[in-house]
Amino acid sequence: MTNDYEQVNQKIEAIVEQMIPYASEDTLESIRRINQNFSMKIADFQREGRKLNIGVIGRVKAGKSSFLNTLLFNGQEVLPKAATPKTATLTKMEYAEQNRILIEFYSVAEWEAIEEDAQLGDKNEITKSARELVTMARDRGIHVQEILERGNLDQTFETYQDLLQFLNDYVGENGTYTPLVRSVVIYMNREEFKDISIVDTPGLNDPIPSRTQRTKEFIEVCDVVFFLSRASSFLDMNDWELLCKQLPQKGVKKMVLVASQYDSGLRDVLKKGETDSFFGGGKSWRSQTKGTSKATNLPDAKKIVAESLEKRIREKIASFEAQPDAGNHDMILDILKDCQKPVFVSARAQDMSGKSYAEYSQEEQEDYRYWKGFLSEADMAAELGAIGNFDEIREIYTGIKMEKQRLLEEKEREFIPTVYGELKEFFCELKRSESMRLECLQSNDKESLQEQRLYLEGRNNAIKADVAEVFGDTLEKIKQQKMDVNKTLRDMSTEAARLETHTGQETHHGTHTTYRFKLGPIRLGRSSQSYSYTTTYQYLAASDALEQIHVYGKKAANEIETVFRETVDMKAYRRKLLETVIRNLDSSDQNFDANYFRIVVQQALNRIAFPEVHIDVSKELTEIGNQFSGEVRNSSDKDRFRKLLSETVEGLYHSIVKRVDITIQEFQDAMRSIQETLCDDILEKITKELEKIQAVMEEKEAEVAKANRYLAVIDRVISDL
């Protein structure tokens, strides 16, 4: 294949030569970069001892580290969990005769860039994360410059415990040196790691550019991907973008779609009893959630979750199938069709299945108390293992390792079609852009373009005023909803604090003795008869309180997010802003062409994002779980239990109300930031485009002819590809 690869390089170089008279340096550099990446992947593929690269990819908190700890280390927490984007680190695992760990720090230049980002007043994720890293380094009192100048750290270890302690210092959430670490390689003397390289990635949504770049470099040479998407928020927009548009384009040959945290997905649809008094005073869950199904037993819950998630992936694939113009469309579609049935896994449930109750963590004990209501105690371990479902994952994982040769051979056959597909998509996009530019050249002259520019500058204040009105209306609606939300949260807290009294039965056993002859202390003819009787008693269940708090926290978060979704429909909101701006740009002047600006405006509006709501109830669960468990029968204990639950729910209510205020404030800050920059961004982008066109208007006819020749070259390239 080497000759074929060289021909591809030569072909791309020839394309660059054809483009030089017409294309900008940025365009030429983009084509050269595609060629460089292609050559880099070939060089990596052909090197001696090339391993099968397996990536575990998903967003922060998708459960990637837990997944790998369970799959590779039987649940031992060897890989620290990333609690936030700032603690997410690319971690690679490979075979070596000696156990050792290689820590790669940021370079001095990279850290200087992070420090510069941290000093900016912006509120975007890059600046926020950079500020957090710099703050972490300062708070830990470490000598940053000295550590970075020493370079990478290579350390041997003997046991998992040694490895874990070392890793926690360098990549743990509270590790001393965590803020300075960019990536980690763990070498282990384990036969199953031979010929493979496994990577736990921080994800492409990592806000630190240098870490994102390292992840992208790995994905360029990745062969197989376990793609994790949380069962409770399966394949949201960001997950789908990465799954269908980025990974296959980079040459990934096999994807295993994993619905992670399956236990959480099941809990979302499970409930105890036939009615749900907590949320509806006896109404069915279906009536409360607009058709969402709810189950009272585990088999039904599994069916509901499977049907829901499989339907979602089918709809997503059908949507992609209807876009035949996408680069490498058929190749990507084949890979996506292999993902039609996601693998449901729960690392938590799998880990619990292999331990006794005495070995459970506090969180696992809380889960155990919950699952007791749905699983058979006699077969608890087996049923938890069935929810964990790692037997299926291990079978897939083993099969992938056995298929190494076939997968690599397939990848080799696809190298050339993949790079041609990437080039074709690039040139199709370039054609759309240049066609628009040509149309503008042909339909406008210098004077009319100058009129458009002056008109646009004159309308800038009007645009700002109208956009401010749209933002203002939205923020006002959110404020108006606040009181209603607080009332709903209060009603929900009242329900959450109520405890249903259960009736239990208890059987008592005894023996009644009689004598045929009794004279003083003398007794003769003894006979005994056993008897039993049943009494009933009233009790409160500690598990009810834990479940009600768990559901209250989730329901409250959903309620807050629902207010934002209903008040600010993302698509409608963007459309309204777009219409507002275009309305101001539009004119009855026949020389004004508003269509030219729509793409520019849309690009600026795509920055709009809304805050997500997370409510942590672990403290409240622990507080109750530490004091009460099982059945609470004693009258004074019942009173204490009710009082504790009432006080706990009341405290949780007030913290959630504060969370509402914080969420509204975050939303307002985000909107103000966008509002402040939106109009200026639009004006700046449009003005630059107009200046480029005005610059060539002096020789309009020559430029139109040149643009036509440029498009002809692009058409030839596309046809040739």
CATH code: domain of residue 641: 1.20.120
pLDDT at 283: 33
Residue tagged 């409930």 (tokens): 271
Residue 414 lies in a domain: yes
Residue 195 lies in a domain: yes
Helix (H, G, I), strand (E, B) or coil at 101: strand
Please compute the mean of the pLDDT values over residues 171-183 and round it to a whole number: 84
Q: Is 626 left (phi over 0), alpha (psi -120 to 50) or beta?
A: alpha
Same domain, 483 and 610: yes
Residue 4 lies in a domain: no
Residue 338 lies in a domain: yes
Amino acid identity for residue 258 in this structure? V
Indicate whether 509 pLDDT > 60.
Answer: yes
pLDDT at 14: 92
Predicted confidence band at 351 (pLDDT cuts at 50, 70, 90)?
very high
Same domain, 391 and 469: no
- Helix, strand and coil content of the chain, in percent to the nearest 5, comes to 65, 15, 25
Please compute the mean of the pLDDT values over residues 681-693 and round it to a whole number: 65
Predicted confidence band at 591 (pLDDT cuts at 50, 70, 90)?
very low
CA–CA separation, 302 and 632 (whole Å): 32
Domain endpoint, select from 537, 562, 581: 537
Amino acid identity for residue 53 in this structure? N
Angle at 532 between CA 527 and CA 534, to 5 degrees: 165
Domain that holds residue 315: 50-270+297-427
Please compute the mean of the pLDDT values over residues 626-643 and round it to a whole number: 87
- Give the residue from 234, 247, 268 showing the smallest Cα distance to 344: 234
Specify burial of residue 53 (Cβ count, 10 A radius: 0-12, 13-18, 19+): buried
pLDDT at 585: 60
- Give the residue from 573, 613, 572 showing the smallest Cα distance to 485: 613
Please compute the mean of the pLDDT values over residues 685-699 and round it to a whole number: 63
Residue 704 lies in a domain: no
As beta bridge partners, residue 255 has 225
Same domain, 551 and 423: no
pLDDT at 608: 59
Predicted confidence band at 352 (pLDDT cuts at 50, 70, 90)?
very high
Same domain, 146 and 238: yes
Question: Given the DSSP bridges, would you call strands 196-200 and 52-57 parallel, antiparallel or unpaired?
Answer: parallel
CA–CA separation, 612 and 616 (whole Å): 13
CA–CA separation, 557 and 445 (whole Å): 55
Give yes or no for a contact between 632 and 638, defined as CB atoms under 8 angstroms apart: yes
pLDDT at 543: 85
Same domain, 644 and 527: no
pLDDT tens, position by position, 232-280 = 888 877 777 767 655 555 667 788 999 999 998 898 888 644 333 333 3
| CATH for 59 | 3.40.50.300
Residue 717 lies in a domain: no
- Give the residue from 159, 154, 170 showing the smallest Cα distance to 80: 170
pLDDT tens, position by position, 353-396 = 999 888 988 888 888 888 888 888 778 899 999 999 999 999 99
3-state secondary structure 19-32: HCCCCCHHHHHHHH
pLDDT at 344: 95
Helix (H, G, I), strand (E, B) or coil at 362: helix
Please compute the mean of the pLDDT values over residues 171-178 and round it to a whole number: 82
Pick from 23-37, 107-121, 159-173, 228-242 the range whose average pLDDT is largest. Answer: 23-37
φ, ψ for residue 161 (rounded to 5)? -65, -40
Same domain, 559 and 570: yes
| Residue partners of 547: CB distance under 8 A and separation at least 6 | 272, 370
Distances from the Cα of 328 to the Cα of 31, 183, 415, 454, angstroms: 17, 31, 11, 44
pLDDT tens, position by position, 80-94 = 765 555 556 788 899
Same domain, 519 and 628: no
pLDDT at 37: 85
Report the number of distinct structural domains present in the chain: 3
Same domain, 312 and 262: yes
**Residue 202 DSSP code:** -
Please compute the mean of the pLDDT values over residues 197-211 and round it to a whole number: 68
Give yes or no for a contact between 89 and 202, defined as CB atoms under 8 angstroms apart: yes
Give the residue with greater pLDDT, 589 vs 385: 385
Helix (H, G, I), strand (E, B) or coil at 683: helix
Residue 564 lies in a domain: yes
pLDDT tens, position by position, 431-489 = 988 888 788 777 766 566 666 666 666 666 777 777 777 777 777 777 777 778 888 88
Give yes or no for a contact between 202 and 86, defined as CB atoms under 8 angstroms apart: no
Same domain, 368 and 409: yes
Residue 29 lies in a domain: no
Same domain, 302 and 383: yes
Domain endpoint, select from 484, 519, 537: 537
Indicate whether 106 pLDDT > 70.
Answer: yes
| Residue partners of 83: CB distance under 8 A and separation at least 6 | 61, 173
Same domain, 621 and 593: yes
φ, ψ for residue 96 (rounded to 5)? -155, 155
Domain endpoint, select from 537, 561, 590: 537
Same domain, 490 and 510: no
Average pLDDT, the chain: 79
CA–CA separation, 437 and 439 (whole Å): 5
Indicate whether 294 pLDDT > 50.
Answer: yes
Distances from the Cα of 224 to the Cα of 218, 254, 568, 615, angstroms: 11, 5, 39, 35
